[in-house]
Amino acid sequence: MKIVVVKASGEWYCKPDNTLNHNNSDYYCPEGVVALEAVPCIYTHIDKAGKCVARRFAGRYWSRLAFGLMLVDRSATAESAMASAMDFTSVLDMAWQPDCHLVPGQIALEINGEQRYRLEEEFNVDTINDAICRITDRTSLRIGDIVAIEAGSGFPAAAGDTLTRIVSGERISIKIY
């Protein structure tokens, strides 16, 4: 299983499954990471394996969306593959939205109680479909893979911070140590 993260620029990269933090466990930041960022993302699990998926069929490869976040090392070493493989940095759980629509105003990210991100308009599902097309031009997607689209710029996070995702009134927090 892999996690494919699509940046705002359209570039994408793969993260291994050891980065998955699906239990909303607290995060223990490794020594030497001096510029951690919390990046909000909209993600989906892949329901059907595919390679070179045509745009008109991309919607058949996924069925539900959710809100999560990526913890990203933006320090000087972040350009290396090591930074994208840090354990438990993909905070993605199973808080699915049943109708494939994330409701604007009901999706947010707080850091230490201060709102840093809020979904202001309906998420365009074509963004997921386009990403699946681009990704599968280069690599296969398998059942259970995750495609995560960065939904905004990153926000500084550090030891002692509490990150809270708000999904339809439910508050899901993790602490950084």
Task: Give the pLDDT confidence score for residue 168 in this predicted structure.
Answer: 83
Domain positions in the chain are: 2-175
pLDDT in tens, 76-133: 555 566 667 889 999 997 655 555 568 889 899 999 999 999 999 988 999 999 999 9
User: 35 pLDDT band (50/70/90 cuts)?
Assistant: confident
pLDDT of residue 8: 87
- Check pLDDT > 90 for residue 43: yes
Measured from the Cβ of residue 89, the count of other Cβ atoms closer than 10 Å reads: 26
Residue 84, pLDDT score: 74
Average pLDDT of the chain to the nearest whole number: 90
Using an 8 Å Cβ cutoff, are 93 and 67 in contact? no
Q: What is the pLDDT of residues 124-171, one digit of tens each?
A: 999 999 999 999 999 999 999 999 999 989 999 999 999 999 988 889
Please state the CATH superfamily assignment of the domain spanning residues 2-175 in this structure.
Fumarylacetoacetase-like, C-terminal domain (3.90.850.10)
The strand pair at 107-111 and 114-118 is best described as antiparallel
